[in-house]
Structure 1
Amino acid sequence: MTNRLALSLAAILLGSTQISLAEPDKTSTLTNKIDLIGINLSAAGFSPNVLPGKNGQHYFFPEKNHFKYYSEKNIRLIRFFFLWERAQHNLNAKLDSEYIGLIKKTLDMAHQHGQKVILDMHNYARYKDNLIGSKKVPYEAYANVWRKLAETFKDHPAVYGYDIMNEPHDTQGLWPKAAQVAVDAIREVDDKTLIFIEGDRWASAWHWPKFNGDLLIKDPAKRLIYEAHLYFDHDTSGRYSRPEQVDPMIGVRHVQPFVEWLKANGQKGFLGEYGVPDDSPSMLKAMDNLLAYLNENCIPSAYWAGGPGWGKYKLAIEPVDGKDRPQMDILQKHIANSCVDIGPPQPEASTEVHPRE
């Protein structure tokens, strides 16, 4: 989700108040080998303009009922966003015990419901509005926080992956080195967990080859997943600021540049965000077609968004008055699959990425 949308949601809140790709549980009636359908559980990163902020006032952590709802829907993949500034109040300082404790509690609840979590640093390649790699935020400070985070969470059974940065944008060419130093730092303490690498220009799938054509990060553990995002509105921002009728294949067309880049470079992919208004039949159809295409290529995805605090936000997928949102029916349609590995399929077995045991 773009920073502009995050800030607007934060303002509303202030004014009003692994992908799990492992084998399914043996008790499951599903036949899929990996989980292709996931959900973003958000709120711990709300009100990014209020730092560090207070839990329950400026930001919110999901509760047991959120995990229960998605578990009952056989959604076992969770992308969970947090803010660097709340996890570490000053560069190179120790991690904040209260915020980290809340993340651990979130992971515990996911584990209790048979779900795996991708931890997403939702900072747009910045710390307190300063770019990573600038004088105010040296690369080593970014390496420092990920080294500490990996050391803290690597042994938790619910952790599937580290999404090292949400939607880098306007990074002035600094992002590739930042991504590399974060990977290097994580691998100093954890060589098992998947690492998710997003691209510049808000991780746009449609713009990926132009802005991220050479974003090929080295990982000694060979456990990288490249992550793009996709929204269907006219400026691909996800704000959906005006009613629009869209072509039913718009999602497929806009994700294809990313998928073709993955195939050309022998990489695995993940669509970490996509979402549509619940009152737009044309966009719901486009979402249906997008997920069918992703399933054909064994590329997992996570819908934006669920969790507390969304209110009447049209992209939200939390039930309203006990009734499922229209988007949920489409997600359910695409849960079953025959994939045994993260896609797109590659010609050489050496590119396979399997979940950790």
Structure 2
Amino acid sequence: MSINVFAGSRKALVASIALAAVLGSVTASSAVLAADALSTASTTVTLSAKINGFTNTDWLNGVWRAAPALSIPASTANNAAFKVGASVRLADGQVRKVTKVYVVGSNLSVFLDGAVVDGNKVGAPNVLSAVTIATATTSPTTSSPTTSSGSTTTVSSGIAYASGINNFTNTDWLNGVWRKSAGFSIPATSASKSAFIVGATVKLADGQLRKVKTVQVVGSNMSVFLDGAAVNGSVVGYPNKLTAVSGSTTETAITAPTQTTLATSGLNNFTNTDWLNGVWRKSAGFSIAATGANQAAFKLGNSVKLADGQVRKITAAYVSGSNMSVYLDGAVLDGNAVGYPKTITAISGTSTSTGTVTSPAPSAPVVSAPAESTAPADTTNGQPRLVGVNLSGAGFGPSVVPGVHGTNYTYPAESYYKKYADLGMKLVRLPFLWERIQPKLNTPLNATELARLKQSLDFAHKHGVKVILDLHNYYRYFGKLIGSSEVPISSFAGVWKQIVQEVVSHPAVEGYGLMNEPYSTNGLWPQAALAAAKAIRTLDSQRWIYVAGDRWSSAYHWPHYNTQLINDPWMRDRKNNLVFEAHMYVDKDFSGNYFDKAEVFDPMIGVNRVKPFVEWLKSNNLRGYIGEHGVPDFSPSAIVATDNLLAYLRQNCIPSTYWAAGPWWGEYALSLDVTSGKARPQLPVLQKHAKTANSCSSIGPL
């Protein structure tokens, strides 16, 4: 058996052994939380509320596990005091801003800015206090600037520090101003890092005052993102300056905009397991006709007014055939209250969420797309989640296809999504087989198998996990090569178009992995990848498309086998949101079989083996991802090499998913889940890097 065959057969061989066993038996981010900026201020408690003693999978002592939020009784006094824009003090002394409020029966869910808080430290039996903040302003004032919402007010604002704006102009930037949301790029000097912090107020060249929402240091520069709509780089960009000001803005002036109706649309009359009167059942979303006017009006950054008067921000919008799905911030909507035959209105300006919104409690907070990308990139608090796992099982039994679910293959149970989410690894690559999702070429997808796939996505969304859908077929269908007369490239593109049509509206989908480890492709993989990617883009213009490489996607061999992958300019165009996927194992034959149990590994072998791929990405200005890497439990030196590998990937903002985790692995040396339940030495290193902050704003190494 050749080395190449080892690589291609590794997972099928291990899966068969595992199945038989079952059946037989860093850097810290430069972003500063608003809490840090406020905690030094003098505060006066206006009301204290007892925190509810909820502890379950969603709550810890009344503190939401997945987002910065606490639950308190919905008394009249609490409703009046804990409202959007108010400041609150936690039991550990932190002071945070209230960003959302929801009444859920007799309780009140209060969401805060900043990171998730620790229920063990600040939860029940502690209290949450509404506070007023006393600040001394001795600086000169600037009268009547235009606020981010377009309204005018008098604001105390002494100039604290001004920075020149970087002269970046390309598809993403205009004169140093981010084209897609309110963001600026400035030099990352010490003074700028001190002045432009989350929660600070900045003044633009046209006089607008905005709050800083997110700060990311990228090399020698820093990106400063603000509240409100995108700004015009021709007006406020280079050679103007961005100015940090002292003093406090009048909050009502910033959050109460002048609203302009952009379009009004009827909702689609969809009612099924996913939709209720055109309203998405699982998160805040709705479906409308994809007319030109609707696509122009219902877009990221604008707001919508619902039939019950709520105003919400649009976080994502996807066109699917003749319809479009629009997703909002906040909790799930009630289709009976705001759905068909009612209408929905797109408006300009900032949401007027200055009071309590009565709405059901979210099963999990919806994470909106990051400001730094048009794609719904895998982010937590503005940073990509760089460490994840492969949850295998649905890719088992490739020699028995379609096979029998529960006998030849399985999908991971919900417990696996919860386990890795709790460990901080909220990125999952989910392998599945073409022959099962479409047992006969060029026919509709198998409804039963599709339901299993969607159930996995539901499990992921419940626990805040994003999923990369991985067609795990090695460039083959029932053993026949794609591009052959039996399996035309058009069939490959066609199956992806059908899959995307079914999942395009699912909030757990991070992206689409076109093909696992193509090999011996007769040079046709670039053509097939282009066709499938373009087919996906007819339905989904935003989510990442993961493009694997020939020769089993080997990172080390990548430049020698995959230069033709980007011959077509479309594959190099950044706006197409492509991510190139390589795999890497450190054993002597690159296969991941680790036949030599005595092999000792250089601590930098992982870094050295991915460097050819990373340097190729850098030289071509492309994004990358390590879809598979894994080491055996019996090799301490391999685990050290993994530690160094993950540090290097983090420095380059490249995500990775470890091979492997999930059910049916028996005692497989690389698996994080084994039948015996014994400790996995690989896990602490993965968890360490999953929970280490990064300074990335999107997938790199751009």
Give the aligned partner of residue 313 of structure 1: 668
Is the 8 Å Cα contact of residues 67 and 113 (structure 1) preserved in structure 2? yes
Q: How many residues align?
A: 340
Give the C-alpha shift of residue 333 in structure 1: 1.5
The match for 1:304 is 659
CA-CA distance at 1:215 after TM superposition = 1.4
Contact 2:394–2:432 (Cα < 8 Å) also in 1: yes
What TM-score does the superposition give when structure 1 sets the normalisation length?
0.91
Q: 1:184 aligns with which of 512, 534, 557?
A: 534
- The answer for the alignment partner of 1:233 in structure 2 is 587
The answer to whether the 8 A contact 1:226-1:268 is kept is yes
Pairing 1:160–2:514 present: no
Distance apart, 1:321 and its partner CA: 5.0
Q: How does 1:83-94 map to 2 (within 5 A)?
A: 83-94=433-444
Q: What SS does structure 1 have at the residue aligned with 2:581?
A: strand
> Where do residues 76-87 of structure 1 align in structure 2 (5 Å cutoff)?
76-87=426-437
Structure 1 position 193, deviation (Å): 1.4
Deviation at 1:15?
3.3
Matched residue type, 2:13: S
Displacement after TM superposition at 1:90 (Å): 1.0
Letter in 1 for 2:585: Y
Q: How does 1:252-271 map to 2 (within 5 A)?
A: 252-271=607-626
Secondary structure of 2:582 counterpart: strand
Q: Which whole-Å CA distance do the structure 2 matches of 1:294 and 1:14 have between them?
A: 33
Partner of 2:9: 4
Q: What's the CA shift string for 1:133-158, capped at 9, x where partnerless?
A: 11111011111101101101111010
Task: Tell me which residue corresponds to 1:36.
Answer: 386
Give the residue type in structure 2 aligned to 1:252.
Answer: V
Mapped contact 1:43–1:62 kept (Cα < 8 A): yes
Q: How does 1:110-125 map to 2 (within 5 A)?
A: 110-125=460-475
The residue aligned with 1:96 is 446
- Point out the structure with the larger helix share: 1
Tell me what 2:681 maps to.
326
Q: Which residue of 1 aligns with 2:113?
A: none
Cα contact 2:402–2:435 (8 A) shared by 1: yes
**1:282 is the counterpart of 2:323:** no
Q: Tell me whether 1:56 sits opposite 2:412 in the alignment.
A: no
Partner of 2:67: 26
Contact 1:2 1:237 survives alignment (8 Å): yes
Task: Render the CA deviation track for 1:226-258: whole Å, top value 9, x for unaligned.
Answer: 010000001101111112111111000000000
The Cα shift of 1:14 comes to 4.9
In structure 2, do the counterparts of structure 1 residues 184 and 32 end up closer, same or farther at CA, with 3 Å as the change threshold?
closer
- 1:7-54: per-residue Cα shift (whole Å, max 9, x none)? 21243245342xxxxxx9533358772201000000101011111111
Check whether the contact 1:80–1:117 (CA below 8 A) recurs between aligned residues.
Answer: yes
Structure with greater strand percent? 2
Which digits, 9 at most, give the CA deviation of each residue in 1:283-322, with x for residues without a partner?
Answer: 0011111001001111110000000000100000126655
Provide the residue aligned with 2:137 in structure 1: none
Is the CA contact 2:471–2:516 (under 8 Å) kept in the aligned structure 1? Answer: yes
CA RMSD of aligned residues (A): 1.8
Query: What amino acid is the match of 2:544?
Result: L
Structure number with the bigger relative contact order (C-alpha 8 A, sep ≥ 6) is 1
Q: Per the alignment, in what secondary structure is the counterpart of residue 106 of structure 1? A: helix
Q: Which residue of 2 aligns with 1:245?
A: 600
Q: Letter of the 2:596 partner, please give it.
A: R
Structure 1 residues 200-229: Cα deviation after superposition (integer angstroms, max 9, x where no partner): 000000000000123115257521000100
**Aligned to 2:693, which of 321, 337, 341?**
337
Query: Matches of 1:196 and 1:86 in 2, distance apart?
Result: 21
The runs of 5 or more residues in structure 2 that have no matched partner are 1-5, 24-64, 69-115, 118-379
Tell me which residue corresponds to 1:139.
489
* 2:14 counterpart letter in structure 1: L
Aligned to 1:351: none
Partner of 2:522: 172
| Separation (CA, whole Å) in 2 of partners of 1:263 and 1:343 | 12
Which residue in the other structure is 2:476 paired with? 126
Q: TM-score, normalised by structure 2?
A: 0.47
Correspondence 1:194 to 2:564: no
Q: Is the 8 A contact 1:77 1:302 kept in 2?
A: yes
SS at match of 2:396: coil
* C-alpha distance in 2 between matches for 1:345 and 1:277: 28
- Please name the residue that 1:224 is paired with: 578
**Partner of 2:300 in structure 1?**
none
CA distance in 2, matches of 1:31, 1:106: 24
Give the CA deviation at 1:341: 2.8
Residues 254-286 of structure 1, C-alpha deviation per residue, up to 9 Å, x if partnerless? 000000000000000100100000110110011
Is 1:67 matched up with 2:417?
Answer: yes
1:353 is aligned to: none
Counterpart of 1:150 (choices 500, 504, 508) is: 500
Residue 21 of structure 1 aligns with which residue? none
User: AA paired with 2:663?
Assistant: P
Amino acid at match of 1:5: R
Question: Do the aligned residues in 1 keep the contact of 2:386 with 2:654 (CA within 8 Å)?
Answer: yes
Structure-2 change in CA distance of 1:255 and 1:65 (3 Å): same
Higher mean displacement: 329-338 or 202-211: 329-338
Q: Distance in 2 between matches of 1:194 and 1:161?
A: 5
Q: State the alpha-carbon separation in 2 of the partners of residues 298 and 207 from structure 1.
A: 21
* Most deviating of 310-319 and 297-306: 310-319
Question: Structure 1 residues 2, 93: closer, same or farther in 2, change over 3 A?
Answer: farther
Report the alpha carbon displacement of residue 337 of structure 1 after superposing the two structures with TM: 2.3
Give the counterpart letter for 2:399 in structure 1: N
**Whole-Å Cα distance in 2 between the matches of residues 139 and 323 of structure 1?**
45
CA contact (8 A) 2:628 2:659 kept: yes
Q: CA deviation at 1:323?
A: 5.0
Q: Which moved more, 1:182-191 or 1:99-108?
A: 182-191
